[in-house]
Structure 1
């Protein structure tokens, strides 16, 4: 029988804009004597067959493809099954598929955040249209949302898909539900940020393998800026890190981001609960990308995580 080959790390990817991120992973791991296997549309079936035959294995698996490409799903489901049903699993998935699915449901996260006293917008959750066509809230509840409010599907919001900003009428709610008829919908109050030294106090915070990285993130321009230690201290923004840690305790993901807003009354409100598939385009390549140094920091944390557990 042909001997089995083992890689330290495997990454499945299918989005062309992940290319620079994957190249960073390859370089960082190579410099630390860790091997990386890239899984793409051209080899996923072959690799899956080799794994099932015992000819190939890897110690860690990062899946950035199966959520968008069905051809990767058999591999991802097989690896999850092996991981969950082995007393001593050889391979550990980063962000296991079952945890991803749980974290991606904004309605579920909303209720779990409330249970953990994580501040969230006032929200009305309504059933999928195909389960119940009538809307399930009172005029009093709708009035409490204020105007304008936000309409978002619970599970179909990657990149803002299906989100209606600035909604004001019942008709907009009725119309929005037609686009994703099997999904729950969240109606949320609009949270307004305070301004700090001319900046909107809107933040994206990365949780990367135990490292918490807060960034300024302008919700209007979508431009990132690093949050300096000095600004974090002088503006009393330490709560950003605490909340990200609390969110990790809820979702249990290894790598995710969240959006937080500081309001005029100094509430820190989580407005985009768990972004389980972080956009890692580089700011040097695209204006609204993540600062290169932050992407490199995330890759370094990923490498250290893999190295410790290899």
Structure 2
């Protein structure tokens, strides 16, 4: 039987450059890597079932969009020593409404209303929009990439917006205008990867990332971003995600988009709103090192009990 250290499941062409970085990082850590893709998934499952291959750690970036990967997820749930973004935690984090309920009591968030699915309750007569203020955004509780998000929506357009994904809960969130720091909007995306934090300026109009330097973090008093991420890590149980935070003119950090997972890992070198390539390389390194540490700890524990 061939045993791999890590199985990485992926199905998005946009991940190809990250995969290259992950292959390199695993090689540097001495980890053997099995890639599971739509092209070889049936073969991988057949080999697992036959006992011809196995793996000790699992990193899933496919099952959220492709149910065909769920048997692989289930295999890993009962057999793997280490799982990056375990499915049960990731599945919970995909529900933005649930994340709002979990995080809004411990972090500052904009005023928000949770709406039931349109199919369940088409009529929202009597809905009080007053707490949201003069302007608000509507977004589906599931999904990413901006699908279904309408900024500064008028109340009369809410029914149509809810029908884009009629079986999904929606969120109405007060529109936030960030402070400006030396002419730049104080809107941030923080990438988190297995204990490492990568704060970035993030233009909410163009979605372009620019890395926050250590000097800028100190100069503008942005250290609270790290505490926000630590809280999200504790509650979500995830190892890789991003979060969106705005600093208001009053000096309050508001968490706008709580847990983005899977993170869009397209490289900035190929798409303007992608993640800076150097950060992609760092993230791949962080994941590989995390897996190596977890497997080493498990091996030491197994040795100690024999």
Indicate the residue corresponding to 1:134 in structure 2: 123
1:105 aligns with 2:95: yes
Residue in 2 that maps onto 1:153? 140
| Aligned equivalent of 2:185 | 200
Deviation at 1:73, TM superposition (A): 2.2
Greater relative contact order (Cα 8 A, min sep 6): structure 1 or 2? Answer: 2
Instruction: Give, in whole Å, the separation in 1 of the partners of 2:279 and 2:223.
Output: 18
Gaps of 5+ in 2: 296-306
Counterparts of 1:136 and 1:215 in 2: how far apart (Å)?
A: 41
Q: CA–CA distance in 1 between the matches of 2:82 and 2:294?
A: 9
Displacement after TM superposition at 1:136 (Å): 6.2
Gaps of 5+ in 1: 83-88
Give the RMSD, CA atoms, in angstroms: 1.4
Match among 39, 47, 51 for residue 50 of structure 1: 47
- Residue in 1 aligned with 2:242? 257
TM-score normalised per structure 1: 0.91
Q: Kindly tell me the number of residue pairs found equivalent between the two proteins.
A: 295
Which residue in 1 is equivalent to 2:72? 75
Q: Matches of 2:153 and 2:69 in 1, distance apart?
A: 37
Alignment of 1:1-310 (within 5 A): 4-80=1-77, 82=78, 89-115=79-105, 117-135=106-124, 137-138=126-127, 141-155=128-142, 157-169=143-155, 171-310=156-295
Hey, what's the Cα distance between the residues in 2 that align with 1:231 and 1:175? 42
- Give the Cα–Cα distance (whole angstroms) in 2 for the partners of residues 153 and 288 of structure 1: 21
Distance 1:143 1:309 in 2: 49
Which secondary structure does the structure 1 equivalent of 2:129 belong to? Answer: helix
8 Å CA contact retained: 1:58, 1:91:
no
Q: Are the aligned partners of 2:58 and 2:80 in contact in 1 as well (CA < 8 Å)?
A: no
Q: 1:17 and 1:199 mapped to 2: Cα distance?
A: 29
TM superposition shift of 1:77: 3.0
Is the Cα contact below 8 Å between 1:10 and 1:62 reproduced in 2?
A: yes
Q: Is the contact made by 2:112 and 2:174 (CA closer than 8 Å) also made in structure 1?
A: yes
TM-score of the superposition, structure 2-length normalised?
A: 0.93
